[in-house]
């Protein structure tokens, strides 16, 4: 049962990150998300370039190497690669690498916290705006109305590693597919 739950979560993440919905995660998916953030937040050129660079860094450092040709990561390859790493005691540290980059992308005003409106924008860009409220509340574990980087990284790490189906971290990327 836990294996099926983990697989659902991995497929959910994949579906959220495959921004162009072509069945593969590529560098262009991260570039596209960066473009959407820039357009929606009307960032100046310098801040927009920095944001895109952070998002592309997730692809370059954490996903590109999973595929032999370094260009297209299919769902099946992604799911199997992550499932193999779940037994590695260092996997949580690996996961903690890209999560601060996503945090920086969502923290549009750069104040070190994600407010509800910033999170709603992120989920709108993911195409699931109706899920933002529930996910925000699940990640905001201290219930102060903001998501700290620590809360974000812990929930994001738990999303990939927890087999507890009642864990609120399962909402990190919206409702499971």
The sign of the CA dihedral 66, 72, 73, 74 is negative
**177 within domain boundaries:** no
Phi, psi of 13 (to 5 degrees): -55, -50
Phi, psi of 113 (to 5 degrees): -140, 150
pLDDT at residue 159, as a whole number: 94
Quote the domain boundaries for residue 119. Answer: 2-164
**9 within domain boundaries:** yes
What does the pLDDT look like over 53-111, one tens digit per residue?
888 888 888 788 877 677 889 999 999 988 888 888 888 888 878 888 889 888 888 89
| Residue whose token pair is 């597919």 | 177
Dist. CA 14–CA 21, nearest whole Å: 10
**174 within domain boundaries:** no
* 8 A C-beta contact, residue 20 and residue 32: yes
Q: What is the CATH number of the domain that holds 124?
A: 1.10.238.10
Between 47 and 131, the more confident residue is 131
**176 within domain boundaries:** no
**52 within domain boundaries:** yes
* 8 A C-beta contact, residue 61 and residue 97: yes
Q: What is the mean pLDDT of the chain?
A: 88
What does the pLDDT look like over 147-161, one tens digit per residue?
999 999 999 999 999
For residue 165, pLDDT over 60 is answered with yes
pLDDT at residue 22, as a whole number: 94
Nearest to 63 by CA among 97, 88, 36, 22: 97
| Residue whose token pair is 């996503």 | 102
Among 56-70, 107-121, 126-140, name the one with the lowest average pLDDT.
56-70
Phi, psi of 25 (to 5 degrees): -95, 130
Query: Could you give the number of structural domains in the chain?
Result: 1
pLDDT-based confidence at residue 42 (cuts at 50, 70, 90): low
**95 within domain boundaries:** yes
Q: Is the pTM of this model over 0.85?
A: yes
**113 within domain boundaries:** yes
**154 within domain boundaries:** yes
């Amino acid at each position: 049962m836990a294996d099926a739950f983990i697989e659902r979560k991995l497929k959910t993440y994949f579906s959220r990150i495959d921004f162009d919905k072509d069945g593969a995660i590529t560098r262009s998916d991260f570039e596209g998300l960066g473009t959407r953030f820039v357009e929606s937040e009307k960032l100046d050129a310098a801040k927009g370039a920095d944001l895109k660079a952070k998002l592309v860094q997730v692809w370059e450092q954490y996903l590109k190497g999973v595929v032999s040709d370094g260009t297209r990561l299919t769902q099946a390859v992604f799911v199997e690669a992550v499932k193999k790493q779940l037994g590695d005691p260092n996997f949580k540290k690996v996961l903690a690498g890209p999560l601060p980059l996503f945090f920086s992308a969502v923290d549009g005003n750069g104040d070190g916290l994600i407010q509800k409106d910033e999170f709603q924008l992120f989920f709108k860009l993911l195409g699931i705006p109706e899920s933002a409220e529930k996910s925000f509340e699940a990640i905001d574990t201290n219930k102060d109305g903001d998501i700290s980087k620590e809360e974000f990284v812990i929930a994001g790490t738990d999303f990939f590693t927890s087999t507890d189906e009642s864990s609120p971290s399962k909402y990190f990327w919206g409702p499971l597919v």
